[in-house]
A and B are shown apart, each in its own frame.
Chain A
Protein backbone atom coordinates (compact mmCIF):
# COMPACT_ATOMS: atom_id res chain seq x y z
CA UNK A 1 0.00 0.00 0.00
CA UNK A 2 1.58 3.24 -1.15
CA UNK A 3 0.83 6.45 0.72
CA UNK A 4 0.44 10.00 -0.47
CA UNK A 5 -0.89 13.08 1.20
CA UNK A 6 -2.95 14.02 -1.83
CA UNK A 7 -4.12 11.91 -4.75
CA UNK A 8 -5.68 13.76 -7.67
CA UNK A 9 -7.72 11.70 -10.10
CA UNK A 10 -7.43 13.31 -13.51
CA UNK A 11 -4.60 15.30 -15.05
CA UNK A 12 -6.69 17.72 -17.09
CA UNK A 13 -7.03 21.45 -16.37
CA UNK A 14 -8.90 20.77 -13.11
CA UNK A 15 -6.44 18.27 -11.69
CA UNK A 16 -3.41 20.29 -12.77
CA UNK A 17 -4.61 23.55 -11.21
CA UNK A 18 -5.61 21.75 -8.00
CA UNK A 19 -2.15 20.17 -7.78
CA UNK A 20 -0.39 23.49 -8.22
CA UNK A 21 -2.63 25.11 -5.64
CA UNK A 22 -2.13 22.36 -3.05
CA UNK A 23 1.60 22.45 -3.61
CA UNK A 24 1.47 26.21 -3.10
CA UNK A 25 0.14 25.51 0.39
CA UNK A 26 3.13 23.33 1.19
CA UNK A 27 1.87 19.88 0.18
CA UNK A 28 4.65 17.95 -1.57
CA UNK A 29 3.38 14.39 -1.41
CA UNK A 30 1.03 14.62 -4.38
CA UNK A 31 0.21 12.07 -7.07
CA UNK A 32 -1.78 12.96 -10.18
CA UNK A 33 -3.25 9.87 -11.85
CA UNK A 34 -4.02 10.32 -15.55
CA UNK A 35 -5.46 7.66 -17.87
CA UNK A 36 -4.27 9.24 -21.13
CA UNK A 37 -0.69 9.10 -22.41
CA UNK A 38 -0.16 12.78 -21.64
CA UNK A 39 -1.33 15.44 -19.19
CA UNK A 40 -3.76 18.09 -20.36
CA UNK A 41 -7.06 16.25 -20.45
CA UNK A 42 -9.64 17.21 -23.02
CA UNK A 43 -7.73 20.43 -23.84
CA UNK A 44 -5.27 18.33 -25.84
CA UNK A 45 -7.87 17.92 -28.54
CA UNK A 46 -9.36 21.44 -28.27
CA UNK A 47 -7.06 23.04 -30.79
CA UNK A 48 -9.31 26.08 -31.32
CA UNK A 49 -8.68 29.27 -29.39
CA UNK A 50 -10.79 31.03 -26.82
CA UNK A 51 -9.16 29.73 -23.66
CA UNK A 52 -7.47 31.81 -20.99
CA UNK A 53 -8.81 35.31 -21.47
CA UNK A 54 -9.50 35.65 -17.75
CA UNK A 55 -6.57 33.62 -16.47
CA UNK A 56 -3.81 34.87 -18.75
CA UNK A 57 -5.37 37.94 -20.38
CA UNK A 58 -4.78 36.39 -23.78
CA UNK A 59 -6.70 34.00 -25.99
CA UNK A 60 -4.96 30.66 -26.18
CA UNK A 61 -5.72 27.36 -27.83
CA UNK A 62 -6.48 24.38 -25.58
CA UNK A 63 -3.02 22.80 -25.73
CA UNK A 64 -1.37 26.16 -25.04
CA UNK A 65 -3.55 26.68 -21.97
CA UNK A 66 -2.87 23.26 -20.53
CA UNK A 67 0.88 23.62 -21.24
CA UNK A 68 1.00 26.58 -18.83
CA UNK A 69 -0.13 24.25 -16.05
CA UNK A 70 1.84 21.22 -17.16
CA UNK A 71 4.96 23.39 -17.06
CA UNK A 72 4.13 24.42 -13.49
CA UNK A 73 3.52 20.82 -12.41
CA UNK A 74 6.86 19.77 -13.90
CA UNK A 75 8.69 22.75 -12.45
CA UNK A 76 7.26 21.98 -9.01
CA UNK A 77 8.32 18.35 -9.37
CA UNK A 78 4.79 17.13 -8.71
CA UNK A 79 4.55 13.38 -9.32
CA UNK A 80 2.16 12.05 -11.93
CA UNK A 81 1.43 8.70 -13.58
CA UNK A 82 0.21 8.43 -17.16
CA UNK A 83 -1.63 5.57 -18.90
CA UNK A 84 -3.01 4.72 -15.48
CA UNK A 85 -6.71 4.06 -14.88
CA UNK A 86 -8.28 4.41 -11.44
CA UNK A 87 -10.51 1.40 -10.83
CA UNK A 88 -11.84 2.23 -7.41
CA UNK A 89 -11.99 4.89 -4.72
CA UNK A 90 -13.52 4.04 -1.37
CA UNK A 91 -14.74 6.25 1.45
CA UNK A 92 -11.62 5.34 3.39
CA UNK A 93 -9.70 7.36 0.81
CA UNK A 94 -8.02 4.31 -0.70
CA UNK A 95 -7.42 4.42 -4.42
CA UNK A 96 -6.94 1.36 -6.65
CA UNK A 97 -5.43 1.97 -10.07
CA UNK A 98 -3.86 -0.07 -12.86
CA UNK A 99 -1.20 0.36 -15.52
CA UNK A 100 1.08 -1.92 -17.49
CA UNK A 101 4.25 -1.16 -15.53
CA UNK A 102 3.14 -1.12 -11.92
CA UNK A 103 0.29 -3.58 -12.34
CA UNK A 104 -2.27 -2.93 -9.62
CA UNK A 105 -1.59 0.12 -7.48
CA UNK A 106 -3.13 0.41 -4.05
CA UNK A 107 -2.75 3.88 -2.61
CA UNK A 108 -3.80 5.35 0.71
CA UNK A 109 -4.38 9.11 0.64
CA UNK A 110 -5.00 11.69 3.32
CA UNK A 111 -7.08 13.65 0.84
CA UNK A 112 -8.41 12.99 -2.65
CA UNK A 113 -9.46 15.39 -5.37
CA UNK A 114 -11.91 14.01 -7.92
CA UNK A 115 -11.17 15.69 -11.29
CA UNK A 116 -12.34 13.08 -13.79
CA UNK A 117 -14.16 15.42 -16.12
CA UNK A 118 -17.23 14.48 -18.10
CA UNK A 119 -18.33 12.31 -21.00
CA UNK A 120 -20.68 12.90 -23.93
CA UNK A 121 -24.27 11.74 -24.10
CA UNK A 122 -24.45 9.08 -26.82
CA UNK A 123 -27.13 8.54 -29.47
CA UNK A 124 -28.45 5.54 -27.61
CA UNK A 125 -29.31 7.51 -24.51
CA UNK A 126 -31.74 9.59 -26.58
CA UNK A 127 -33.21 6.63 -28.45
CA UNK A 128 -32.85 8.51 -31.74
CA UNK A 129 -34.72 6.16 -34.07
CA UNK A 130 -33.43 4.62 -37.27
CA UNK A 131 -30.55 2.51 -38.38
CA UNK A 132 -27.45 1.64 -36.36
CA UNK A 133 -25.07 2.21 -39.23
CA UNK A 134 -21.52 3.50 -39.04
CA UNK A 135 -20.86 7.22 -39.43
CA UNK A 136 -22.54 8.34 -36.21
CA UNK A 137 -20.23 9.94 -33.69
CA UNK A 138 -20.39 12.18 -30.68
CA UNK A 139 -18.70 15.46 -31.56
CA UNK A 140 -15.87 14.89 -29.10
CA UNK A 141 -14.97 11.51 -30.56
CA UNK A 142 -14.91 13.05 -34.03
CA UNK A 143 -12.73 15.83 -32.61
CA UNK A 144 -10.28 13.24 -31.32
CA UNK A 145 -10.05 11.61 -34.74
CA UNK A 146 -9.48 14.88 -36.56
CA UNK A 147 -7.28 16.74 -34.10
CA UNK A 148 -5.19 13.95 -32.62
CA UNK A 149 -5.24 11.17 -35.21
CA UNK A 150 -5.47 13.26 -38.37
CA UNK A 151 -8.35 11.17 -39.72
CA UNK A 152 -11.69 12.35 -41.10
CA UNK A 153 -14.87 10.74 -39.77
CA UNK A 154 -16.74 11.69 -42.95
CA UNK A 155 -17.35 13.98 -45.90
CA UNK A 156 -20.95 15.24 -45.68
CA UNK A 157 -21.94 16.13 -42.19
CA UNK A 158 -25.06 16.95 -40.20
CA UNK A 159 -24.63 18.07 -36.62
CA UNK A 160 -27.28 17.48 -33.97
CA UNK A 161 -27.11 19.94 -31.10
CA UNK A 162 -25.80 23.48 -31.13
CA UNK A 163 -23.63 23.11 -28.03
CA UNK A 164 -20.10 24.47 -28.30
CA UNK A 165 -18.53 21.15 -29.24
CA UNK A 166 -20.95 20.76 -32.13
CA UNK A 167 -20.36 24.31 -33.32
CA UNK A 168 -16.58 24.00 -33.06
CA UNK A 169 -16.67 20.74 -35.02
CA UNK A 170 -18.86 22.35 -37.70
CA UNK A 171 -16.02 24.75 -38.41
CA UNK A 172 -13.28 22.17 -37.95
CA UNK A 173 -14.81 19.65 -40.35
CA UNK A 174 -15.40 22.40 -42.92
CA UNK A 175 -11.79 23.54 -42.71
CA UNK A 176 -10.57 19.99 -43.24
CA UNK A 177 -12.53 19.57 -46.44
CA UNK A 178 -15.91 18.21 -45.35
CA UNK A 179 -19.27 19.74 -46.23
CA UNK A 180 -21.36 20.55 -43.18
CA UNK A 181 -24.96 20.68 -44.32
CA UNK A 182 -26.79 21.79 -41.20
CA UNK A 183 -26.70 22.18 -37.45
CA UNK A 184 -29.96 20.92 -35.97
CA UNK A 185 -31.05 22.21 -32.55
CA UNK A 186 -34.07 20.97 -30.60
CA UNK A 187 -34.59 24.15 -28.60
CA UNK A 188 -35.63 27.53 -29.98
CA UNK A 189 -32.24 28.87 -28.94
CA UNK A 190 -28.69 27.65 -29.27
CA UNK A 191 -26.96 26.16 -26.24
CA UNK A 192 -23.48 27.29 -27.25
CA UNK A 193 -21.69 30.61 -26.96
CA UNK A 194 -23.02 33.28 -29.33
CA UNK A 195 -19.52 33.90 -30.65
CA UNK A 196 -19.40 30.31 -31.86
CA UNK A 197 -22.60 30.73 -33.86
CA UNK A 198 -20.84 33.57 -35.70
CA UNK A 199 -17.40 32.10 -36.20
CA UNK A 200 -18.44 28.48 -36.74
CA UNK A 201 -21.76 28.61 -38.57
CA UNK A 202 -22.34 32.10 -40.00
CA UNK A 203 -18.78 32.40 -41.30
CA UNK A 204 -19.33 29.26 -43.39
CA UNK A 205 -23.01 29.71 -44.26
CA UNK A 206 -23.95 26.59 -42.34
CA UNK A 207 -27.69 26.75 -41.61
CA UNK A 208 -28.79 26.56 -37.97
CA UNK A 209 -32.16 24.83 -37.74
CA UNK A 210 -33.62 25.83 -34.39
CA UNK A 211 -36.63 23.96 -33.00
CA UNK A 212 -35.78 20.96 -35.12
CA UNK A 213 -34.82 17.42 -34.34
CA UNK A 214 -33.78 14.24 -36.13
CA UNK A 215 -36.65 11.80 -36.60
CA UNK A 216 -34.91 9.08 -38.56
CA UNK A 217 -31.42 7.85 -39.37
CA UNK A 218 -31.09 6.09 -42.72
CA UNK A 219 -28.28 3.87 -43.91
CA UNK A 220 -27.50 0.19 -44.39
CA UNK A 221 -23.81 -0.23 -43.54
CA UNK A 222 -22.82 3.44 -43.48
CA UNK A 223 -25.01 6.47 -42.89
CA UNK A 224 -26.82 7.70 -46.00
CA UNK A 225 -28.98 10.48 -44.63
CA UNK A 226 -31.11 11.84 -41.83
CA UNK A 227 -34.67 13.07 -41.66
CA UNK A 228 -35.21 16.25 -39.67
CA UNK A 229 -38.49 17.80 -38.60
CA UNK A 230 -39.65 20.93 -36.88
CA UNK A 231 -40.82 20.52 -33.28
CA UNK A 232 -43.69 22.13 -31.40
CA UNK A 233 -43.64 23.83 -28.01
CA UNK A 234 -43.54 20.40 -26.37
CA UNK A 235 -40.52 19.54 -28.50
CA UNK A 236 -42.48 16.89 -30.38
CA UNK A 237 -41.98 16.56 -34.15
CA UNK A 238 -44.64 18.24 -36.27
CA UNK A 239 -45.99 15.92 -38.94
CA UNK A 240 -45.52 17.21 -42.45
CA UNK A 241 -42.41 19.24 -41.71
CA UNK A 242 -40.01 16.38 -42.41
CA UNK A 243 -36.98 17.04 -44.60
CA UNK A 244 -34.42 14.47 -45.74
CA UNK A 245 -30.79 15.55 -45.72
CA UNK A 246 -28.39 13.17 -47.48
CA UNK A 247 -25.17 12.87 -45.49
CA UNK A 248 -22.59 10.27 -44.49
CA UNK A 249 -21.77 11.60 -41.04
CA UNK A 250 -23.86 12.56 -38.06
CA UNK A 251 -22.12 14.34 -35.18
CA UNK A 252 -23.96 14.49 -31.87
CA UNK A 253 -23.47 17.36 -29.46
CA UNK A 254 -26.39 16.58 -27.19
CA UNK A 255 -25.12 17.02 -23.69
CA UNK A 256 -22.19 16.43 -21.38
CA UNK A 257 -22.50 14.20 -18.33
CA UNK A 258 -20.15 14.47 -15.37
CA UNK A 259 -18.34 11.16 -15.08
CA UNK A 260 -18.97 10.14 -11.48
CA UNK A 261 -18.58 6.37 -11.44
CA UNK A 262 -15.71 6.60 -8.99
CA UNK A 263 -17.57 9.15 -6.88
CA UNK A 264 -20.42 6.66 -6.60
CA UNK A 265 -18.02 3.93 -5.58
CA UNK A 266 -16.67 6.25 -2.88
CA UNK A 267 -20.21 6.79 -1.58
CA UNK A 268 -19.99 10.51 -2.32
CA UNK A 269 -23.41 12.17 -2.30
CA UNK A 270 -24.34 13.26 -5.82
CA UNK A 271 -26.70 15.99 -6.94
CA UNK A 272 -29.58 14.67 -9.03
CA UNK A 273 -29.54 17.88 -11.05
CA UNK A 274 -25.87 18.14 -12.02
CA UNK A 275 -24.93 14.47 -11.73
CA UNK A 276 -21.85 15.67 -9.86
CA UNK A 277 -21.03 15.65 -6.15
CA UNK A 278 -22.70 18.06 -3.75
CA UNK A 279 -20.08 20.35 -2.27
CA UNK A 280 -19.53 23.11 0.20
CA UNK A 281 -17.60 26.33 -0.27
CA UNK A 282 -14.29 24.47 0.01
CA UNK A 283 -15.22 22.07 -2.81
CA UNK A 284 -15.39 19.28 -0.24
CA UNK A 285 -17.89 16.51 -0.93
CA UNK A 286 -20.03 14.69 1.61
CA UNK A 287 -16.97 12.59 2.50
CA UNK A 288 -14.49 14.58 4.61
CA UNK A 289 -11.17 14.73 2.80
CA UNK A 290 -12.62 14.06 -0.65
CA UNK A 291 -12.75 17.21 -2.75
CA UNK A 292 -13.78 17.81 -6.32
CA UNK A 293 -13.52 20.37 -9.10
CA UNK A 294 -13.96 20.85 -12.84
CA UNK A 295 -16.39 19.18 -15.19
CA UNK A 296 -16.90 16.18 -12.92
CA UNK A 297 -18.54 18.56 -10.45
CA UNK A 298 -20.60 20.46 -13.00
CA UNK A 299 -20.08 21.06 -16.71
CA UNK A 300 -18.32 24.36 -17.37
CA UNK A 301 -18.31 26.63 -20.43
CA UNK A 302 -15.02 28.34 -19.66
CA UNK A 303 -11.86 26.58 -18.59
CA UNK A 304 -10.89 29.74 -16.68
CA UNK A 305 -13.71 28.99 -14.23
CA UNK A 306 -12.46 25.41 -13.93
CA UNK A 307 -9.06 26.81 -12.95
CA UNK A 308 -10.34 29.09 -10.18
CA UNK A 309 -12.63 26.35 -8.86
CA UNK A 310 -9.72 23.92 -8.84
CA UNK A 311 -7.42 26.36 -7.05
CA UNK A 312 -10.06 26.45 -4.31
CA UNK A 313 -10.27 22.66 -4.16
CA UNK A 314 -6.47 22.33 -4.03
CA UNK A 315 -6.06 24.91 -1.32
CA UNK A 316 -8.76 23.37 0.84
CA UNK A 317 -7.46 19.85 0.33
CA UNK A 318 -4.11 21.15 1.57
CA UNK A 319 -5.80 22.70 4.60
CA UNK A 320 -7.48 19.39 5.30
CA UNK A 321 -4.18 17.54 5.13
CA UNK A 322 -2.66 20.13 7.46
CA UNK A 323 -5.37 19.43 9.99
CA UNK A 324 -7.50 22.48 9.27
CA UNK A 325 -10.98 21.04 8.90
CA UNK A 326 -13.58 23.64 8.07
CA UNK A 327 -16.62 22.61 9.99
CA UNK A 328 -19.26 25.22 10.22
CA UNK A 329 -22.87 26.12 10.37
CA UNK A 330 -23.41 24.92 6.83
CA UNK A 331 -25.92 27.30 5.29
CA UNK A 332 -27.98 25.53 2.64
CA UNK A 333 -28.01 27.18 -0.77
CA UNK A 334 -31.33 26.56 -2.44
CA UNK A 335 -31.88 26.83 -6.19
CA UNK A 336 -35.42 27.51 -7.39
CA UNK A 337 -37.65 29.45 -9.78
CA UNK A 338 -35.55 29.27 -12.91
CA UNK A 339 -32.23 28.44 -11.28
CA UNK A 340 -31.47 24.77 -11.92
CA UNK A 341 -28.63 24.32 -9.45
CA UNK A 342 -25.89 26.13 -7.57
CA UNK A 343 -22.31 25.17 -6.78
CA UNK A 344 -21.69 25.03 -3.89
CA UNK A 345 -24.83 23.62 -2.34
CA UNK A 346 -23.69 24.48 1.21
CA UNK A 347 -21.66 27.38 2.58
CA UNK A 348 -19.72 27.59 5.83
CA UNK A 349 -19.45 31.33 6.20
CA UNK A 350 -16.33 31.04 8.37
CA UNK A 351 -14.39 29.67 5.41
CA UNK A 352 -15.13 32.04 2.57
CA UNK A 353 -12.36 34.59 3.12
CA UNK A 354 -13.67 37.90 1.85
CA UNK A 355 -16.34 36.37 -0.32
CA UNK A 356 -17.48 33.48 -2.45
CA UNK A 357 -18.58 33.10 -6.06
CA UNK A 358 -21.70 31.01 -6.19
CA UNK A 359 -22.00 29.57 -9.68
CA UNK A 360 -25.32 28.56 -11.20
CA UNK A 361 -27.19 27.81 -14.42
CA UNK A 362 -30.74 28.70 -15.37
CA UNK A 363 -33.14 26.14 -16.81
CA UNK A 364 -34.53 28.30 -19.62
CA UNK A 365 -33.93 31.60 -21.37
CA UNK A 366 -34.76 34.72 -19.34
CA UNK A 367 -34.73 38.19 -20.85
CA UNK A 368 -34.61 41.38 -18.78
CA UNK A 369 -34.98 39.57 -15.48
CA UNK A 370 -33.40 39.71 -12.07
CA UNK A 371 -31.11 37.32 -10.27
CA UNK A 372 -32.37 37.51 -6.70
CA UNK A 373 -30.48 36.31 -3.66
CA UNK A 374 -32.39 35.87 -0.42
CA UNK A 375 -30.82 35.32 2.96
CA UNK A 376 -33.66 33.47 4.67
CA UNK A 377 -36.56 35.79 3.77
CA UNK A 378 -34.54 38.93 3.21
CA UNK A 379 -33.85 40.00 -0.38
CA UNK A 380 -30.19 40.97 -0.31
CA UNK A 381 -29.29 41.07 -4.01
CA UNK A 382 -31.44 41.92 -7.00
CA UNK A 383 -29.29 42.03 -10.11
CA UNK A 384 -30.73 43.02 -13.47
CA UNK A 385 -29.66 40.75 -16.29
CA UNK A 386 -30.44 41.45 -19.93
CA UNK A 387 -30.21 37.81 -20.83
CA UNK A 388 -29.76 34.52 -18.98
CA UNK A 389 -29.52 31.24 -20.91
CA UNK A 390 -28.95 27.60 -19.89
CA UNK A 391 -25.87 27.46 -22.10
CA UNK A 392 -23.96 30.08 -20.10
CA UNK A 393 -22.89 29.59 -16.52
CA UNK A 394 -23.54 32.57 -14.26
CA UNK A 395 -22.25 33.57 -10.86
CA UNK A 396 -23.00 35.90 -7.98
CA UNK A 397 -20.42 37.09 -5.53
CA UNK A 398 -21.52 36.88 -1.91
CA UNK A 399 -19.17 38.93 0.25
CA UNK A 400 -18.19 38.18 3.82
CA UNK A 401 -19.83 41.44 4.82
CA UNK A 402 -23.20 40.12 3.65
CA UNK A 403 -22.76 36.93 5.66
CA UNK A 404 -21.86 39.00 8.69
CA UNK A 405 -25.05 40.97 8.19
CA UNK A 406 -27.12 37.78 8.34
CA UNK A 407 -25.18 35.89 10.97
CA UNK A 408 -28.15 33.66 11.87
CA UNK A 409 -29.02 32.77 8.31
CA UNK A 410 -30.04 29.17 7.75
CA UNK A 411 -30.84 29.23 4.06
CA UNK A 412 -29.79 31.21 1.00
CA UNK A 413 -32.17 31.13 -1.95
CA UNK A 414 -31.17 32.05 -5.48
CA UNK A 415 -33.97 32.53 -7.98
CA UNK A 416 -34.93 34.44 -11.11
CA UNK A 417 -37.60 37.07 -10.76
CA UNK A 418 -39.46 39.10 -13.35
CA UNK A 419 -39.24 42.24 -11.24
Chain B
Protein backbone atom coordinates (compact mmCIF):
# COMPACT_ATOMS: atom_id res chain seq x y z
CA UNK B 1 0.00 0.00 0.00
CA UNK B 2 1.36 3.38 -0.86
CA UNK B 3 0.22 6.96 -0.61
CA UNK B 4 0.67 9.61 -3.23
CA UNK B 5 0.16 13.35 -2.80
CA UNK B 6 -1.15 15.28 -5.74
CA UNK B 7 -2.46 18.71 -6.58
CA UNK B 8 -5.67 18.49 -8.57
CA UNK B 9 -5.51 20.44 -11.82
CA UNK B 10 -9.20 20.06 -12.61
CA UNK B 11 -10.06 23.62 -11.72
CA UNK B 12 -8.27 26.71 -10.40
CA UNK B 13 -8.75 25.74 -6.72
CA UNK B 14 -6.04 23.06 -6.85
CA UNK B 15 -7.14 20.83 -3.94
CA UNK B 16 -4.38 18.91 -2.21
CA UNK B 17 -5.20 15.24 -2.77
CA UNK B 18 -4.08 12.15 -0.93
CA UNK B 19 -4.36 8.94 -2.92
CA UNK B 20 -4.02 5.46 -1.46
CA UNK B 21 -2.73 2.90 -3.91
CA UNK B 22 -2.38 -0.83 -3.87
CA UNK B 23 0.10 -1.50 -6.62
CA UNK B 24 -1.51 0.21 -9.64
CA UNK B 25 -5.02 0.28 -8.19
CA UNK B 26 -6.49 3.34 -6.54
CA UNK B 27 -8.01 2.44 -3.17
CA UNK B 28 -9.15 5.86 -1.97
CA UNK B 29 -8.96 9.58 -2.74
CA UNK B 30 -9.00 12.20 0.04
CA UNK B 31 -8.84 16.01 0.03
CA UNK B 32 -10.98 16.63 -3.04
CA UNK B 33 -13.95 18.97 -2.79
CA UNK B 34 -15.71 17.62 -5.87
CA UNK B 35 -15.96 14.76 -8.32
CA UNK B 36 -13.47 16.34 -10.68
CA UNK B 37 -10.78 15.84 -8.06
CA UNK B 38 -11.70 12.22 -7.50
CA UNK B 39 -11.59 11.46 -11.21
CA UNK B 40 -8.39 13.37 -11.69
CA UNK B 41 -6.66 11.48 -8.89
CA UNK B 42 -7.66 8.11 -10.29
CA UNK B 43 -6.51 9.00 -13.77
CA UNK B 44 -3.29 10.65 -12.69
CA UNK B 45 -2.16 7.58 -10.83
CA UNK B 46 -3.09 5.05 -13.49
CA UNK B 47 -3.18 6.76 -16.87
CA UNK B 48 -2.33 10.46 -16.60
CA UNK B 49 -3.82 12.66 -19.31
CA UNK B 50 -3.73 16.33 -20.27
CA UNK B 51 -5.59 18.74 -22.50
CA UNK B 52 -3.03 20.24 -24.86
CA UNK B 53 -3.34 23.81 -26.16
CA UNK B 54 -1.15 25.06 -28.97
CA UNK B 55 -1.30 26.99 -32.23
CA UNK B 56 -1.05 26.44 -35.98
CA UNK B 57 -0.50 28.71 -38.97
CA UNK B 58 -3.34 30.29 -40.95
CA UNK B 59 -3.25 31.57 -44.51
CA UNK B 60 -5.58 34.17 -45.97
CA UNK B 61 -6.94 35.28 -42.63
CA UNK B 62 -7.12 38.36 -40.46
CA UNK B 63 -4.54 36.72 -38.24
CA UNK B 64 -1.59 34.41 -39.02
CA UNK B 65 -1.89 32.25 -35.93
CA UNK B 66 -4.81 30.04 -34.91
CA UNK B 67 -4.97 28.80 -31.31
CA UNK B 68 -6.06 25.18 -31.04
CA UNK B 69 -6.69 22.56 -28.38
CA UNK B 70 -7.24 18.84 -28.05
CA UNK B 71 -10.99 18.37 -27.84
CA UNK B 72 -10.48 16.07 -24.85
CA UNK B 73 -7.51 15.12 -22.72
CA UNK B 74 -4.93 12.79 -24.24
CA UNK B 75 -2.27 10.59 -22.59
CA UNK B 76 0.32 12.78 -20.93
CA UNK B 77 3.24 10.96 -22.50
CA UNK B 78 1.96 11.89 -25.96
CA UNK B 79 2.17 15.67 -25.37
CA UNK B 80 5.43 16.23 -27.24
CA UNK B 81 4.41 13.96 -30.12
CA UNK B 82 1.10 15.80 -30.30
CA UNK B 83 2.89 19.14 -30.64
CA UNK B 84 5.15 17.56 -33.24
CA UNK B 85 2.09 16.50 -35.21
CA UNK B 86 0.99 20.15 -35.32
CA UNK B 87 4.29 21.37 -36.71
CA UNK B 88 3.75 22.33 -40.30
CA UNK B 89 -0.05 22.22 -40.08
CA UNK B 90 -1.49 25.15 -42.00
CA UNK B 91 -5.18 25.95 -42.24
CA UNK B 92 -7.02 28.31 -44.55
CA UNK B 93 -9.29 31.09 -43.37
CA UNK B 94 -12.16 31.29 -42.63
CA UNK B 95 -12.00 28.99 -39.63
CA UNK B 96 -14.28 28.88 -36.59
CA UNK B 97 -14.26 27.69 -32.99
CA UNK B 98 -14.75 23.95 -32.96
CA UNK B 99 -13.59 23.29 -36.54
CA UNK B 100 -11.36 20.23 -36.73
CA UNK B 101 -7.77 21.17 -37.51
CA UNK B 102 -6.24 17.71 -37.10
CA UNK B 103 -8.37 14.64 -36.91
CA UNK B 104 -7.69 11.80 -34.45
CA UNK B 105 -4.26 13.00 -33.37
CA UNK B 106 -1.80 10.12 -32.89
CA UNK B 107 -4.69 7.67 -33.11
CA UNK B 108 -6.03 8.71 -29.72
CA UNK B 109 -9.53 9.24 -31.07
CA UNK B 110 -9.21 12.87 -30.05
CA UNK B 111 -9.46 15.73 -32.57
CA UNK B 112 -7.56 18.97 -32.40
CA UNK B 113 -9.98 21.85 -32.85
CA UNK B 114 -9.81 25.59 -33.40
CA UNK B 115 -10.46 27.80 -30.38
CA UNK B 116 -10.76 31.12 -32.18
CA UNK B 117 -12.68 32.47 -35.15
CA UNK B 118 -10.43 33.81 -37.88
CA UNK B 119 -12.23 35.38 -40.81
CA UNK B 120 -10.85 35.93 -44.28
CA UNK B 121 -8.73 39.06 -44.50
Interface residues of A (CB under 8 A from B): 38, 44, 47-50, 53, 59-61, 63-64, 67, 146-150, 175-176, 193-195, 197-199, 203, 301-302
Contacts and interface: CB of A to CB of B under 8 A. Distances in A.
Contacts of A149: 64-65
Nearest to B6: A198
Nearest to A168: B53
B97 A147 contact: no
Contacts of A176: 54, 83
8 contacts: A47-B69, A59-B51, A61-B53, A61-B115, A67-B117, A149-B65, A195-B11, A301-B12
B3 interface: no
B8 interface: yes
B76 A203 contact: yes
B67 A150 contact: no
Given A67-B117, A150-B64, A193-B12, 19 more contacts: A47-B116, A49-B51, A49-B69, A53-B12, A61-B69, A63-B115, A64-B116, A146-B55, A147-B67, A149-B64, A149-B65, A175-B80, A194-B14, A194-B16, A195-B7, A195-B11, A195-B12, A195-B14, A203-B50
A49 B53 contact: yes
B55 to A, nearest CB: 6
B9 interface: yes
A313 B11 CA distance: 26
Nearest to A301: B12
B45 to A, nearest CB: 14
B46 interface: no
Interface string B68-82: 010000001001100
Interface string B11-52: 110101000000000000000000000000000000000111
B88 to A, nearest CB: 13
The 10 closest A-B pairs by CB, nearest first: A194-B14, A47-B67, A63-B116, A195-B9, A61-B115, A195-B14, A150-B65, A194-B7, A48-B53, A198-B7
B118 to A, nearest CB: 10
A269 to B, nearest CB: 31
Contacts of B79: 175, 203
Query: Which of A47, A60, A67 counts the most chain B CB atoms within 10 A?
Result: A47
Contacts of B10: 195
A203 B76 CA distance: 9
B57 interface: yes
Contacts of A195: 7-12, 14
Contacts of B9: 195, 198-199
B104 interface: no
A47 to B, nearest CB: 4
Contact of A53 (B11, B50, B116): B11
A147 B55 contact: yes
A47 B55 contact: yes
B108 interface: no
A353 B61 CA distance: 47
B65 A175 contact: no
